[in-house]
Amino acid sequence: MSYRLEDLQKKVLLRDFESFLVRIEFNIARATGRISVTGGKAAIYQSNTTNQDFPGSLMDEGLRWVRLIDNGQQPQATQLDLQLEAVAETTLDLVNETARLTLLEVPTPQGGQAPGWLAAANWNIPYKPPKVTADGTPFRPRWFSFDTIGKRYCDALQEGRNNNGCSALRVVCPMLNPPIMSRIFLNHGKEIRDLQPFSIQLSSSEPWKYPPATPPPIPGAVIGSVTAVQGAFKQLLLSELEELNIRWSGPGSLSNEKILLLLASWIGSQGRNLETCDDSRLNSVVPPSPDSPLEVLLLEGLNSINWVAPVH
């Protein structure tokens, strides 16, 4: 799949790129259960073997609304609207390829205002959950639900446990309508107990739910993020996404320039080194992904105070 980036007046800012990352950060207060969106980031990676410069740069555009559009979904284009500003960029020229990685940030709400930098009403991608593996073995049913999202298939599910039960959850799902990040975003300021809870159902077992149906407060002070990835960013491991959480937003977080270098070391031209950077028989251009983008939901601190039943 390939994408383009336009402003709201349909001026094309970037065309025909395959790789993006969009991330929303949030927390859930233990005492009140209130969801607070705390920030957002994005990155775009371009690569080609034409050995030509990329036209234009998002670094010249400033803070503006942009529209991320799936080139293949016509005439009803799939799109995600974002208010972003490019904050760092790196371009790499090799003997037979060129690559550019751009880091972007969202505006910080002022005076306690609700965030207003994401709109996903027109994000629509067709999808059929898998039923059997390549060797004909039935897939194990893994379903995720939250708010208005009902029974979305999980490509991957990872649970963290300690002596207090389930401490962390990592869920990987196709990015469908509505995106998980949009439901978090639109519920900023609302109490989690007023929504359908986070829910995981394995096979025919009873669904695991968070927060559990117990009196307030909720069992932990939850720190979360949802990261949408496509193309080269699908090369990231779950462990790398967690490191990105720490390095990008945690205490002692890195500068934008160092985050850029960290991302660049994980994706794209990571297979080229000083010995092979002049070898024109090689290239590390990332081909378009045949599949839809993925969303990765990370929830930590689920049981920082009280016991939470395990998922598995």
The CA R_g of the chain, rounded to the nearest whole Å, is: 20
DSSP 232: G
Reported pTM: 0.92
For 33, 36, 124, 164, 207, the CA distances from 215, given in Å and listed in that order, are 11, 21, 37, 18, 19
- What are the phi and psi torsion angles at 99 (to 5°)? -140, 145
Instruction: Tell me the two tokens of residue 172.
Output: 């990987």
78 in Cβ contact with 122 (< 8 Å): yes
Of the candidates 206, 164, 225, the one whose C-alpha atom is nearest the C-alpha of residue 35 is 225
Give the pLDDT confidence score for residue 98 in this predicted structure. 83
Of the candidates 209, 254, 173, 184, the one whose C-alpha atom is nearest the C-alpha of residue 39 is 184
**How far is Cα 175 from Cα 154, in angstroms, rounded to an integer?**
11
**How far is Cα 220 from Cα 162, in angstroms, rounded to an integer?**
13
**How far is Cα 34 from Cα 190, in angstroms, rounded to an integer?**
5
Distance from the Cα of residue 139 to its chain's centroid: 24
Of the candidates 178, 203, 181, 210, the one whose C-alpha atom is nearest the C-alpha of residue 300 is 210
CA dihedral 267, 273, 277, 278 (to 10 degrees): -150
**How far is Cα 185 from Cα 128, in angstroms, rounded to an integer?**
26
Of the candidates 102, 46, 95, the one whose C-alpha atom is nearest the C-alpha of residue 285 is 46
Per-residue pLDDT of the chain (312 residues; tens, 9 = 90+): 789 999 989 899 998 899 999 999 999 999 999 999 998 999 999 888 766 778 788 999 988 999 999 887 655 568 999 999 999 998 888 777 788 999 999 887 666 667 888 999 889 888 888 888 888 888 888 999 999 999 999 999 999 999 999 999 999 999 999 999 999 999 999 999 999 999 999 987 889 999 998 888 999 999 999 999 999 999 888 888 888 888 887 777 889 999 988 888 888 655 667 787 777 777 767 777 778 899 999 999 999 999 999 998
